[in-house]
């Protein structure tokens, strides 16, 4: 269970993680390096706005 205290705790984490993780994994093989960096910068900016996080660097 990789450090989870219970199976239900693992399931709860994975259900949320599976919804969020694609946001940070664009289809890189279809993007140029410049477009990938621009897309990741946009996604991290959006994430920081949604979560209310300030002062964290965006993707370079």
The answer to whether residue 60 is domain-embedded is: no
> Would 32 be classed as within a structural domain?
yes
* Any domain includes 1: no
pTM check: above 0.85: no
| 47-56 residue pLDDT tens | 888 888 776 5
Kindly state whether residue 15 falls inside one of the protein's structural domains. yes
* Residue range(s) defining the domain that contains residue 44: 7-51
CA distance 48 to 30: 25
DSSP 3-state percent helix, strand, coil across the chain (nearest 5): 65, 0, 35
Mean pLDDT of 37-60: 79
Please state the domain count of the chain.
Answer: 1
Work out the number of other CB atoms within 10 angstroms of the CB of residue 42: 13
The answer to whether residue 58 is domain-embedded is no
């Amino acid at each position: 269970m990789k450090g989870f205290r219970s199976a239900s705790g693992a399931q709860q984490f994975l259900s949320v993680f599976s919804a969020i993780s694609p946001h940070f994994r664009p289809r890189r093989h279809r993007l140029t390096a410049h477009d990938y960096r621009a897309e990741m910068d946009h996604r991290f900016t959006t994430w920081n706005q949604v979560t209310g996080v300030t002062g964290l660097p965006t993707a370079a």
